[in-house]
């Protein structure tokens, strides 16, 4: 399997309700209509580890930062490597992969306060194994996303409140600042309409995808 056929790996990041899912769905549809093969994946993975993370995120299980960090790191590695839905498997088949959050999201550990250095360290193995070709950060005012979440969601996750989202956004931006020499990051203004954001993402990524 030659490297030249490898699919593109594009990660979408942003605080909750910033529109990652919406944009990925739209992008996937457009790519498929134009004849590209696309696989969509999300964090956490659909595995026992992912399930545990989810339980923590909704407040059903309480644990310490160290345990959460270890679970995130394990989930990332599984997400990259596992035999059934591992990202690498798809990329090697020339399939383009769109990810709703990759390791950057863990820089933002939303429900707990974790030192940024610890988080970067915890995610360093995933970063070494597989960096996205491009990380797109959909940057939205947390007040705007809270309105969206309240209007549209049946359940709210533990950390989905404005102060947390403000802090999370700041952590993301700090992480991007730190990692700008090694990561390719595109910051997109997410306070606009779904269509306008989609067009910007399309224009800035279309040359990356592989047929
Ligand atoms: P995320 O995946 O980042 O949590 P979603 O894509 O699920 O965000 O969007 C959260 C909610 O906000 C959804 O109900 C979606 O329809 C709505 N939404 C997404 N993008 C926009 C936008 N640009 N303008 C208005 N509403 C949006």
State which ligand 1 atom lies nearest to the alpha carbon of 152: 14
**Residue with more model confidence, 83 or 95:** 95
For residue 161, the model assigns a pLDDT of 77
For residue 68, the model assigns a pLDDT of 84
Beta strands in the chain (DSSP E): 9-13, 38-42, 96-100, 134-139, 185-189
pTM for this entry: 0.90
8-49 pLDDT per residue, tens: 999 999 988 899 999 999 999 999 999 999 999 988 888 888
Mean pLDDT of the chain: 87
Residue 53 lies in a domain: yes
Burial level of 85, CB count in 10 A (0-12/13-18/19+)?
middle
**Residue with more model confidence, 6 or 161:** 6
Residue 84 lies in a domain: yes
Three-point CA angle 76, 77, 78, nearest 5°: 95
40 CA to centre of own chain: 11
Residue 211 lies in a domain: no
Q: Which domain holds residue 17?
A: 9-205
Three-point CA angle 203, 102, 11, nearest 5°: 10
For the record, the structure tokens of 7 come out as: 């699919």
Mutate to test the pocket of ligand 1, among 13, 17, 23 (most ligand atoms within 8 A of CB): 17
122-160 pLDDT per residue, tens: 888 888 899 999 999 999 998 888 888 777 766 665 556
Non-local CB neighbours of 176 within 8 Å, separated by 6+ positions = 104, 137, 183, 185, 187
Rounded to the nearest whole angstrom, what is the distance from the C-alpha of residue 117 to the centroid of ligand 1? 30
Up-side HSE of residue 175: CA atoms within 13 Å toward CB? 31
For residue 109, the model assigns a pLDDT of 66
Residue 31 lies in a domain: yes
Residue 210 lies in a domain: no
**Residues near ligand 1 with C-beta < 6 Å?**
14, 16-22, 148, 152, 193-194, 197
Question: What domain count does the chain have?
Answer: 1
Rounded to the nearest whole angstrom, what is the distance from the C-alpha of residue 22 to the centroid of ligand 1? 6
Shortest CA distance to 200 belongs to which of 208, 211, 189, 210?
189
* CATH number of the domain within which 45 lies: 3.40.50.300
For residue 208, the model assigns a pLDDT of 97
The CA distance from 209 to 159, in Å, is 34
Rounded to the nearest whole angstrom, what is the distance from the C-alpha of residue 43 to the centroid of ligand 1? 17
Residue 137 lies in a domain: yes
Instruction: Identify the three-state secondary structure at position 51.
Output: helix
Atom 20 of ligand 1: nearest residue by CA position: 19
Rounded to the nearest whole angstrom, what is the distance from the C-alpha of residue 135 to the centroid of ligand 1? 18
For the residues 168-173, what does the mean pLDDT come to? 88
Residue 200 lies in a domain: yes
Residue 125 lies in a domain: yes
Atom 18 of ligand 1: nearest residue by CA position: 19
For residue 66, the model assigns a pLDDT of 80
């Amino acid at each position: 399997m030659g490297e030249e056929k490898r699919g593109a790996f594009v990660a979408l990041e942003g605080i909750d309700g910033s529109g990652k899912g919406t944009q990925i769905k739209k992008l996937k549809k457009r790519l498929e209509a134009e004849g590209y093969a696309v696989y969509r994946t999300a964090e956490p993975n659909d595995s026992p580890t992912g399930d545990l993370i989810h339980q923590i995120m909704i407040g059903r299980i309480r644990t310490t930062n160290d345990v959460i960090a270890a679970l995130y790191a394990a989930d990332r590695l599984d997400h990259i490597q596992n035999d059934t839905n591992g990202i690498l498997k798809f990329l090697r088949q020339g399939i383009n992969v769109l990810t709703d959050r990759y390791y950057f999201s863990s820089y933002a550990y939303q429900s707990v306060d974790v030192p940024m250095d610890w988080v970067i360290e915890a995610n360093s193995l995933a970063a070494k194994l597989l960096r996205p070709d491009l990380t797109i950060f959909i940057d939205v005012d947390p007040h705007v996303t809270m309105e969206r979440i309240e209007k549209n969601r049946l359940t709210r996750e533990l950390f989905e409140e404005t102060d947390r989202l403000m802090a999370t956004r700041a952590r993301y931006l700090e992480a991007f600042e730190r990692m700008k020499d090694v990561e390719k990051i595109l910051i997109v203004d997410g306070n606009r309409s779904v269509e306008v954001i989609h067009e910007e993402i399309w224009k800035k990524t279309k040359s990356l995808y592989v047929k």
